[in-house]
């Protein structure tokens, strides 16, 4: 189980609870929210995407409304594993492959 480093007084709304859930995943060592800034576009809901590799992990970009915040994650996961877990935590994971045409689970 990892930890979330709380270093700022301002975070994007809904980010810290999500990062705490991410930190509970096996393989995540440290999650550190960083600089927050304004952007021109708008994102109605919280979105996270893996942005760039860093030494020992990955940089994420969190967006909500007209704010963007960098998040640094120390992990041994690859980019696809991390993005897949983020999508699952946000409820955006693609449905599992199944042969049922109506999408019902057996």
Q: Is residue 105 part of a domain?
A: no
Considering the domain boundaries, does residue 101 fall inside one?
no
Q: Is residue 46 part of a domain?
A: yes
Please give the pLDDT value at position 94: 56
| Cα 4 to Cα 18: distance, rounded to the nearest angstrom | 10
pLDDT of residue 7: 79
59 within some domain: yes
pTM (2 d.p.):
0.82
Backbone angles phi, psi at 105, to 5 degrees: -90, 145
Q: Provide block-wise average pLDDT over 10 residues at a time, the chain (106 residues).
A: 85 94 95 93 92 96 95 96 96 55 47
What whole-number distance in Å separates Cα of residue 77 and Cα of residue 81? 6
Residue 95 belongs to a domain? no
Whether residue 100 is contained in a domain is answered as no
CA nearest to 33, candidates 9, 66, 1, 64: 9
* Domain assignment present for 43: yes
Q: Report yes or no on 97 lying in a domain.
A: no
Per the structure, the complete domain to which residue 67 belongs is given by 3-89
Domain count, the chain: 1
């Amino acid at each position: 189980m990892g930890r979330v480093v709380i270093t700022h007084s301002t975070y994007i709304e809904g980010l810290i609870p999500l990062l705490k859930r991410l930190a509970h995943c096996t393989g995540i060592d440290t999650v550190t929210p960083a600089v927050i800034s304004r952007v021109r576009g708008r994102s109605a809901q919280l979105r996270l995407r893996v942005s760039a590799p860093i030494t020992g992990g990955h940089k994420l970009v969190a967006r909500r409304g007209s704010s963007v915040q960098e998040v640094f994650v120390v992990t041994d996961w690859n980019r696809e594993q991390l993005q897949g877990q983020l999508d699952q935590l946000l409820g955006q994971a693609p449905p599992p492959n199944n042969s049922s045409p109506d999408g019902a689970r057996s």
